[in-house]
Amino acid sequence: MEKEKTAKVVQKIMALRLKKGYTYENMSDELGMTPAAYRKIEMGETKLSIERLFKIAEILNEKVSNLLETDATIFNQTNHDNATGNQYQQTIENFFQENKEVYEKLIASKDEQINLLKNLVVSQND
């Protein structure tokens, strides 16, 4: 399911790139990478990072919400405590916080697996 969603985002990026007449070289120059590396993103061989997604949206002059095909209203939250703040800041911070928590759980799980494997190797060598 997640791969399908990612594939749709990448397809949308590719369609917008072609519509604007941009080549792999144009995109890769703007992103500071090789054309081959950029091509791998569009071919689904390399995962698209959040940072690159934001930069690609900027290059294509497109809203990230349009690339992700999300309801734009979720991004229209304003922070009344800080009227000068970016209206997207709270949503983006929440998004990164959620991802951080997931990564921390994954890292903890990985550490547990490493310790289990170490103990297994040590017990087999004894």
pLDDT reported for residue 13: 93
Q: Closest Cα partner for 54 from 102, 108, 13, 98?
A: 13
1-71: CATH topology is 434 Repressor (Amino-terminal Domain) (1.10.260)
Contacts of residue 14, defined as CB under 8 A and 6 or more positions apart, other chains included, come to: 42
How does pLDDT run across 34-54, given as a tens digit for each residue?
Answer: 999 999 999 989 888 889 999
| pLDDT band per the 50, 70, 90 thresholds, residue 91 | low
| pLDDT band per the 50, 70, 90 thresholds, residue 33 | very high
Helix, strand or coil, per DSSP, at residue 94: helix
Calculate mean pLDDT across residues 25-36.
Answer: 93
